Amino acid sequence: MALDPITQAIRIQTERTSQMEHATPLFLTSSFTFEDAESMRAAFADETDDNIYSRFSNPNVQEFVDKMCALEGAEAGFATASGMSAVFASFMALLKSGDHLLVCNSIFGSTHTIVTKYLPRYGITYTYVSADKPEEWEAAIQPNTQMLYLETPTNPGLDIIDLAFVSELTQKYNLILNVDNCFATPVCQKPIDFGAHLSVHSATKWIDGQGRVMGGVVVGKKELIKEIYLFCRSSGPALSPFNAWVLSKSLETLDVRMERHAANALKVAEALENHKAISWLKYPYLPSHPQHAIAKKQMKNGGGIVCFELKGGLESGRTFLNNLQMLSLTANLGDTRSIASHPASTTHAKLTEQERMAVNITPGLIRISVGLEQVDDILQDILQALNNV
Ligand SMILES: *Cc1c(COP(=O)(O)O)cnc(C)c1O
């Protein structure tokens, strides 16, 4: 019976044990045993898929990966301890000294640090290209460019990159298209359908969805995932089986959760768009979003993040956070609980003003991760905080 990916994310399950459990048990074991020398030899020779050691593979981790592959329409995947280890592994396994990486300039802060501080130490160079000028990207491709890395929607500016357009570009120049799909989640956007070779995630965010565990995952082309697996098997950013168990359960509700997150976010965006304390507001599914048409084409909904710029800049940002009564001030997103953040004074505070502007972090930028509370309560809190900045 052919099952829809959303059904598969609910129904894929580790083989039942003799206990006939309904929910998958936790496989908290560091290693796995063998009946005899021959089966152990065969496992080490990759002649079987038997688990050997939880740094390499584990049933809970594999269940989570299998569900992610179903949702993303991917051939294979590998899960890691955090989103950053997934991003890092996708670079280290597939780039080498002398290679060049093309990167869209609106990326997560730690990804920026890896690209600009660590990769150059290994002889991997990079060029940033502008999220709002994809027509200029082709000119930045060099003979040694290996990969194009981007986020869409971008964090935290919510720029939308046209996946079909960049896929054509990467095909023309034979580059790996590596997309951080964290903000949209696979129930809202499937980069592989548009030609991406890899889709990476921080599972810590919407996939967990309840602010409990860290995790990351890369899915995509089998031959690329094989390299990532071999790198991770040796370097060891393994996802804990407990976290994998939590994340696998979370995938069973991802679609219904994201539908409500997005519905709440759209209502918040519509209600705030013309507020007098705000100079602009962005939400992918608002017609005023500069790339609204692209968002409609490649995303099933607008996602759960709304961002806006306060007229008063940096100080207003701080006042706004202080005024909030219900929304959480925390360094996370994608939770059942709504969260407000002010990147210029927190996540991106270490960057210079110039560096912040280069990645579109304006002084009064506020990012709201819209939760699952009743939307009127969310709005009430944001409005009273805005009215007093
Ligand atoms: C949080 C985040 C990451 C990093 O993930 P961790 O799980 O925190 O390591 C990468 N990309 C984006 C877009 C993120 O929001």
Give DSSP secondary structure letters for 63-118.
HHHHHHHHHHT-SEEEEESSHHHHHHHHHHTT--TT-EEEEES---HHHHHIIIII
Question: Does ligand 1 have an atom closer than 6 angstroms to the CB of 202?
Answer: yes
One domain, residues 245 and 262:
no
Query: What pLDDT was estimated at residue 30?
Result: 97
Q: How far is CA 381 from CA 168, 320, 323, 375, in A?
A: 44, 11, 9, 10
One domain, residues 281 and 204:
no
Share of the chain above pLDDT 90, in %: 92
One domain, residues 272 and 289:
yes
From the list 154, 205, 156, 158, the residue with the least C-alpha distance to 179 is 154
- Testing ligand 1's pocket by substitution, the residue of 80, 84, 247 carrying the most ligand atoms inside 8 A of its CB is 84
Mean pLDDT of the residues in the chain = 96
Per-residue pLDDT of 254-282, as tens digits, reads 999 999 999 999 999 999 999 999 999 99
Q: Phi first, then psi: what are they for 17, rounded to 5°?
A: -90, 180
Q: Whose CA is nearest to atom 7 of ligand 1?
A: 83
Q: Which residue has the higher pLDDT, 358 or 125?
A: 125
Per-residue pLDDT of 196-252, as tens digits, reads 999 999 999 999 999 999 999 999 999 999 999 999 999 999 999 999 999 999 999
In this model, does residue 357 exceed pLDDT 90?
no
- Residue ending a domain, among 233, 251, 269, is 251
331: confidence class by pLDDT, cuts 50, 70, 90: confident
One domain, residues 176 and 304:
no
One domain, residues 164 and 73:
yes
- Residue ending a domain, among 251, 267, 285, is 251
In this model, does residue 158 exceed pLDDT 90?
yes
- CATH number for the domain harbouring residue 355: 3.90.1150.10
Edge-to-edge strands of the sheet including 198-202? Answer: 76-80, 216-220, 198-202, 176-180, 145-151, 100-104, 125-129
Q: What is the mean pLDDT of residues 12-24?
A: 97
| 257 Rama sector, left if φ>0, alpha if ψ -120 to 50, beta otherwise | alpha
Q: Which residues pair with 309 in a beta bridge?
A: 280, 365
Edge-to-edge strands of the sheet including 339-341? Answer: 278-282, 305-310, 365-369, 339-341, 328-329
Per-residue pLDDT of 24-60, as tens digits, reads 999 999 999 999 999 999 999 999 999 999 999 999 9
Share of the chain above pLDDT 70, in %: 100
Ligand 1 centroid to Cα of residue 200, in Å, is 10
Question: Does ligand 1 have an atom closer than 6 angstroms to the CB of 362?
Answer: no
Identify the domain containing residue 232 by its residue range. 5-251
Which atom of ligand 1 is nearest the CA belonging to 85?
Answer: 9
One domain, residues 202 and 276:
no
In this model, does residue 321 exceed pLDDT 90?
yes
> And the tokens for 168?
């054509």
| 7 Rama sector, left if φ>0, alpha if ψ -120 to 50, beta otherwise | alpha
One domain, residues 190 and 155:
yes
The domain total for the chain is: 2
Query: What pLDDT was estimated at residue 355?
Result: 80
- CATH number for the domain harbouring residue 120: 3.40.640.10
One domain, residues 131 and 191:
yes
One domain, residues 198 and 259:
no
Q: Please state, in angstroms and rounded to a whole number, the distance separating the CA atoms of residues 335 and 13.
A: 25
In this model, does residue 359 exceed pLDDT 90?
no
One domain, residues 25 and 12:
yes
38's CB contacts (< 8 A; 6+ apart) are none
- Residue ending a domain, among 225, 251, 277, is 251
One domain, residues 285 and 181:
no
One domain, residues 95 and 131:
yes
Q: Whose CA is nearest to atom 1 of ligand 1?
A: 202
